[in-house]
Amino acid sequence: METLWDHRYAQRTQRMASSAIRELLKLTDKPDIISFAGGLPAPDVFPVDDFTAACERVLHEQGAQALQYGTTEGYLPLREMIARHTGRYGINITPDNVLITSGSQQALDLIGKVFINRGDRILVEEPTYLGALQAWNAYGAEYVTVPMDEDGMMTEALESALRSGPKFIYVLPNFQNPTGVTLSFERRIKLIELADRYGVPIIEDDPYGQLRYEGEHIKSVVTLDNEFRENGEAGYRGNVIYLSTFSKTLAPGLRLAWVVAPPEVIRKLVQAKQGADLHTSTFTQMVAYEVAHGGFLDRHIWLIRRVYGERRNLMLEAMDEFFPSEVTWTRPQGGLFLWGMMPERLNSAEVLERAIEQNVAFVPGAPFYALGGGGNTMRINFSYASPEKMLIGIERLGKVLHQMVAEK
């Protein structure tokens, strides 16, 4: 329905239309639905007692500072901790390389604000993280896509995509949202070399890198880029902007994440952040630091890995048992999601409608495709539902899929 406000909105809102799938997913809020739709961490692993104690300590010992405005760059002890932590993975950065943001989602938005002119092309994986497309659509981004297989972005298709002159490459190397797929070491090297040759920066979005349940850690693109440049000094000055977050390792409600980038890029992002929110909550940063430092985060990540690893195994076993053979899916080595592929003739929005009637939900894959397509794909989360609910949910979804495969 048209309202008085319609002609007042800025042009950039034209691509903000709420999708049919979003409307469908609203129905998944009912309490009896078993949802594999969200990217939600399991609430039973939130360290509530540790946060309670940390809040008290911060207010008691540093209350005035915690309730005061802070610097845009972020709380220095937290930035130092992130620099130390990043250093363990083989890259020597300083706090000048680090900006604290209100979630990685804000970092994506600030990157859009700082880099994207209307009509600029952004090179993305196909499919890619929907939240990045939402952030960048508002800045008038256009997209060039590179297909993926079980080793991530197919770098043999990257060079021709780079010839179209993209502003930057957006890549999710570890347990990608939405597919769960990991970019192989060889392709990471190829990506860095090609990006360097064509002078195109890389945005590396890595919320899940620490949540690996099998296989060996592969160095991040930012670390490999630093090695490629043979930069022996402290401080990163290369071609990659790296994002990570506390959302999946501590709690998403904190809205706490960070960017690692060359100092001049951090300074530009700081200017953009000043116009957005001045700074991320001082209190939240201090409490998160209080909880995380001194080894807690390592222990906690170990626990999360165990819980989610078990849930992933359980889901894969249940899918083997209950899903029809016409449906295939990825077997992620970490993260929160796997990716289902149905026969072309099936449409996952229709499957979702039927699934909701049976009180089970997932996210249809099409919105993750920047240029359309993917109508027969689905993203399934394995971190949120308890093991008991997961089994019931996968059995229900399997029944729906069997019926729809038979009908169509």
Ligand X SMILES: Cc1ncc(COP(=O)(O)O)c(C=O)c1O
Smallest distance from ligand X to CB 102, Å? 8
Figure out which of the listed residues 74, 95, 166, 207 binds ligand X, where binding follows CB under 6 A. 207
* Torsion angles phi and psi, residue 170, rounded to 5: -110, 120
Q: Which pair of structure tokens corresponds to residue 156?
A: 């043999």
From its phi and psi, is residue 291 left (phi > 0), alpha (psi between -120 and 50) or beta? alpha
Name the token pair of 76. Answer: 């220095």
Q: Judged by CB under 6 A, does residue 104 bind ligand X?
A: yes
131 forms part of the interface with ligand X (CB under 6 A) = yes
CA dihedral in degrees (201, 206, 207, 213; nearest 10)? 170
Q: From residue 35, how far is each of 26, 131, 333 by CA, in Å?
A: 11, 19, 22
Q: Which lies closer to ligand X via its Cβ, residue 39 or residue 340?
A: 39
The stretch among 7-15, 77-85, 101-109, 384-392 that binds ligand X (CB under 6 A) is 101-109
Residue type, 378: M
**109 makes contact with ligand X (CB under 6 A):** no
Q: Which residue has the tokens 């080894």?
A: 295
Q: Which is nearer to ligand X, 110 or 394 (CB)?
A: 110
- Shortest distance, CB of residue 176 to ligand X, whole angstroms? 7
Candidate list 123, 124, 172, 251; residue touching ligand X; CB under 6 A: 172
Q: Could you give the C-alpha distances from 235 to 81, 87, 93, 297, in angstroms and in order?
A: 15, 10, 4, 24
Stretch that binds ligand X, among 97-105, 189-197, 220-228, 361-369 (CB under 6 A): 97-105
Instruction: Give 195's contacts (C-beta < 8 A, 6+ positions apart).
Output: 162, 169, 201, 202, 239
Would you count residue 260 as binding ligand X (CB under 6 A)? no
Helix residue ranges per DSSP H, 35-144: 48-66, 76-87, 103-115, 130-137
Element (H, E) at 104: helix 103-115
CA distance linking residue 278 with residue 53, whole number of Å: 28
Rule CB under 6 A: is residue 309 a binding residue for ligand X? no
Q: Which phi and psi angles does 42 have, rounded to 5°?
A: -70, 125
Interface region with ligand X, contact rule CB under 6 A, candidates 66-74, 100-108, 190-198, 383-391: 100-108
Residue 38 near ligand X by CB under 6 A: no
The yes or no reply on residue 239 touching ligand X (CB under 6 A) is: no
The answer to the question of residue 174 lying near ligand X (CB under 6 A) is no
* 205 touches ligand X by CB under 6 A: yes
Nearest residue to ligand X on Cβ basis: 103
The nearest distance, CB 243 to ligand X, in angstroms, is 7
Looking from the CA of 2 toward its CB, the CA atoms found within 13 Å total 3
Our CB check for ligand X shows the closer of 180 and 201 to be 180
- The answer to whether residue 166 forms part of the interface with ligand X (CB under 6 A) is no
Question: Of the two residues 251 and 318, which places its CB atom closer to ligand X in the complex?
Answer: 251
74 binds ligand X (CB under 6 A): no
Tell me which of 72, 97, 247, 281 binds ligand X, using CB under 6 A. Answer: 247
Q: Which residues pair with 168 in a beta bridge?
A: 122
Size of the site for ligand X (CB under 6 A): 14
Where do the H-state alpha helices sit in 294-374?
296-322, 348-357
Kindly state the smallest distance separating residue 403's Cβ from ligand X, in Å. 31
**Three-state SS for 45?**
helix
Q: Which stretch binds ligand X (CB under 6 A): 4-12, 245-253, 325-333, 378-386?
A: 245-253
Q: What is the CA 229 to chain-centroid distance, rounded?
A: 27
Least distance between ligand X and beta carbon 252 (Å):
5
Q: Which residues bind ligand X (CB under 6 A)?
A: 39, 103-105, 129, 131, 172, 177, 205, 207, 245, 247, 252, 257
